[in-house]
Amino acid sequence: MSLNKKYLTKEQSDRLKKNATAASVSLAVGLCLLKAFGALYTGSLAVLSSMIDSVTDIFASSVTVIAVRFSSLPESYYYRYGYGKAESLSALLQSAFIAGSGIFILYDGINRLFHPRPIEQTTVGLIIMGVSLFATLALISYQRYVTRMTESQAISADSAHYMVDVMTNLSIIISLIVVSVFNISWFDTLTALGVSGYLLFNAYKIAGDAVKTLMDAELDDDIRRNIKKIVMECPFSKGIHDLRTRDLGGRYMFEFHLELDGELSLAAAHDMTELVEDNLQDEYPNSVIIIHQDPVGIKEERLDNKIRKPIKKS
Ligand SMILES: [Zn+2]
């Protein structure tokens, strides 16, 4: 968890995310128009295929816009945990787009080994490629900033998807130079292999993070340790067990059993629990916390006893 997140309110974070999605859709639309003009002007197939790529960018970024809008909605009658996981769904979809591009580039690269493509080179085509490369890099660095501030899975995936454009454009430019200067025709295939490997790896990482959130994976051990520490710092806490943590999509949820003196009145136990909850909220604002009280020493079936500890990699 980044430190910055704590200092952003939900409104600030939602606004940043919305700005980032607006920027990415505007860029995709702008580049699409530029490439449409370029394709008409030059009749270049490369510019045309690059324009088609921008059309899919518009589609992919629109998915992110919808996901970010959804995730900022408050809890509702039917969705009482809120809509935060919409971002993970969108990230999962983006990872499929990225993996698809990776496979296509691999196929195309191998194909070109057997059927070398005449490389067309127009000044207008190169200028368009350069402009789109720099604009996309600017967008990616803005998205990285927003992701760092908000930890948004949807924006992070959208950004990874724009890396596809940067990588393919860069590899086209590098191949143009290498193939024309050194006349190594298989270099094209080599870069395609590298680019597709990079994309598939990224798609795997993004999908992994999204699936973790969607499947309620346990949060980092650091967070678990910190929760236990905060709970046990209260002088009346006799113990904590069956702690479960998860990411609801932008905010955390914790549940656990708090062990208290069994002779306490319900009102006293309630006040103590409230205090524990307040201390946790100070550290993890906006989190959802459910505390079940146990009289210390009670015999019961516990989740902690059912779970085998993972073997730590050293
Ligand atoms: Zn218990």
For residue 26, the surrounding DSSP H or E stretch is helix 10-42
Q: Which residues 6+ apart lie within 8 Å of 17 measured at CB?
A: 68, 72, 146, 150, 152, 154, 155
CATH number of residue 151's parent domain = 1.20.1510.10
- Separation of 230 CA from ligand 1 center, angstroms? 18
Q: What is the pLDDT of residues 121-156, one digit of tens each?
A: 667 777 888 888 999 999 999 999 999 998 899 999
- Separation of 62 CA from ligand 1 center, angstroms? 46
Determine the number of helices (DSSP H) and then strands (DSSP E) in the chain. Answer: 9, 3
Instruction: Give me the pLDDT at residue 252, please.
Output: 93
Strand partners, 293: 258
- Separation of 222 CA from ligand 1 center, angstroms? 22
- Looking at 195, 214, 233, which one is the last position of a domain? 214
- Separation of 260 CA from ligand 1 center, angstroms? 11
Residue 33 lies in a domain: yes
- Separation of 243 CA from ligand 1 center, angstroms? 10
Instruction: Give me the pLDDT at residue 120, please.
Output: 60
| Residues 121 and 27 occupy one common structural domain | yes
- Looking at 214, 232, 250, which one is the last position of a domain? 214
Q: What is the pLDDT of residues 227-257, one digit of tens each?
A: 999 999 999 999 999 999 999 988 899 999 9
When pLDDT is cut at 50, 70 and 90, the band that residue 188 belongs to is confident
Residue 313 lies in a domain: no
- Separation of 242 CA from ligand 1 center, angstroms? 7
For 227, the token pair is 């929760």
| Residues 198 and 97 occupy one common structural domain | yes
Strands 252-260 and 288-295: parallel
Percent of the chain with pLDDT over 70: 94
| Residues 72 and 171 occupy one common structural domain | yes
Angle between helices 45-71 and 153-182 (to 10 degrees): 170
- Looking at 194, 214, 234, which one is the last position of a domain? 214
When pLDDT is cut at 50, 70 and 90, the band that residue 118 belongs to is low
| Residues 63 and 138 occupy one common structural domain | yes
* Residues 247, 151: Cα–Cα separation, whole Å: 12
* Residues 308, 314: Cα–Cα separation, whole Å: 18
- Separation of 241 CA from ligand 1 center, angstroms? 6
- Separation of 262 CA from ligand 1 center, angstroms? 13
| Residues 22 and 71 occupy one common structural domain | yes
Instruction: Give me the pLDDT at residue 130, please.
Output: 86
Residue 295 lies in a domain: yes
Tally Cβ neighbours within 10 Å of residue 136.
22
| Residues 277 and 148 occupy one common structural domain | no
- Separation of 283 CA from ligand 1 center, angstroms? 24
| φ, ψ of residue 83 in degrees (nearest 5) | -115, 15
| φ, ψ of residue 258 in degrees (nearest 5) | -105, 125
- Separation of 296 CA from ligand 1 center, angstroms? 9
Residue 312 lies in a domain: no
When pLDDT is cut at 50, 70 and 90, the band that residue 258 belongs to is very high
Instruction: Give me the pLDDT at residue 314, please.
Output: 53
- Separation of 308 CA from ligand 1 center, angstroms? 18
Closest CA to 251 of 160, 151, 166: 151
- Separation of 254 CA from ligand 1 center, angstroms? 15
| Residues 57 and 185 occupy one common structural domain | yes
- Separation of 257 CA from ligand 1 center, angstroms? 5
* Number of independent structural domains in the chain: 2
When pLDDT is cut at 50, 70 and 90, the band that residue 5 belongs to is very low
Average pLDDT (197-208) is 92
Is the predicted pLDDT of residue 3 greater than 60, yes or no?
no
Domain boundaries, position 118: 4-214
| Residues 207 and 251 occupy one common structural domain | no
Closest CA to 48 of 125, 105, 142: 125
Is the predicted pLDDT of residue 96 greater than 50, yes or no?
yes
Instruction: Give me the pLDDT at residue 119, please.
Output: 59
Residue 311 lies in a domain: no
3-state secondary structure of 245: strand
Q: What is the pLDDT of residues 44-67, one digit of tens each?
A: 777 787 788 788 889 889 999 999
Instruction: Give me the pLDDT at residue 57, please.
Output: 87
- Separation of 244 CA from ligand 1 center, angstroms? 12
Is the predicted pLDDT of residue 29 greater than 80, yes or no?
yes
| Residues 133 and 267 occupy one common structural domain | no
Q: Residues 297, 260: contact at Cβ < 8 Å?
A: no
More confident position, 260 or 193: 260
CATH number of residue 233's parent domain = 3.30.70.1350
- Separation of 213 CA from ligand 1 center, angstroms? 26
| Residues 139 and 287 occupy one common structural domain | no
